[in-house]
Amino acid sequence: MRLSGLLILTFALTAPINQARSDNAAMALGKKVFLELAVPQCALCHTLADAGSTGPVGPVLDDLKPTADRVRTAVTKGVGPMPANTILTREQIDAVALYISTVTGAR
């Protein structure tokens, strides 16, 4: 019984650390998607202070503060002149959605 309790306590203490590492990795991937991996690159059209981008076409994401769900929908389906994604993986889409919603304060 003691070992079982110790395992539960160990998991309870390390789970937040592992989640923070996972979120940090997703945020780094999301920024990379925004700046490099998306075609066309998000930064070409969108202004986002954290990414240092000043794109003149799309909405200023710092002002729009889109939720992660809104970003996911825009990336996967397209919106206005923004094309639907044809190359990003689900992991990359989730990462860019997390990144944008977090750095704009929408999360």
For 8-43, how does the pLDDT look when each residue is reduced to its tens digit (9 = 90+)?
A: 545 555 555 455 567 899 999 999 999 999 999 999
Confidence of residue 2 (pLDDT cuts 50, 70, 90): low
Q: Domain range for residue 58?
A: 26-103
Look at residue 6 and tell me if it is in a domain.
no
Alpha-carbon gap, residue 87 to 74, rounded angstroms: 14
The angle subtended at Cα 67 by Cα 50 and Cα 25, nearest 5°, is 55
Domain count for the chain, please give it. Answer: 1
Look at residue 5 and tell me if it is in a domain.
no
Query: What global pTM score does this model have?
Result: 0.80
Digit-coded pLDDT (tens) for 45-90: 999 999 999 999 999 999 999 999 999 999 999 999 999 999 999 9
Look at residue 90 and tell me if it is in a domain.
yes
Look at residue 35 and tell me if it is in a domain.
yes
As separate numbers, helices (DSSP H) first and strands (DSSP E) second, the chain gives 5, 2
DSSP state of 84: P
Look at residue 11 and tell me if it is in a domain.
no
Q: What is the CATH number of the domain that holds 72?
A: 1.10.760.10
Look at residue 3 and tell me if it is in a domain.
no
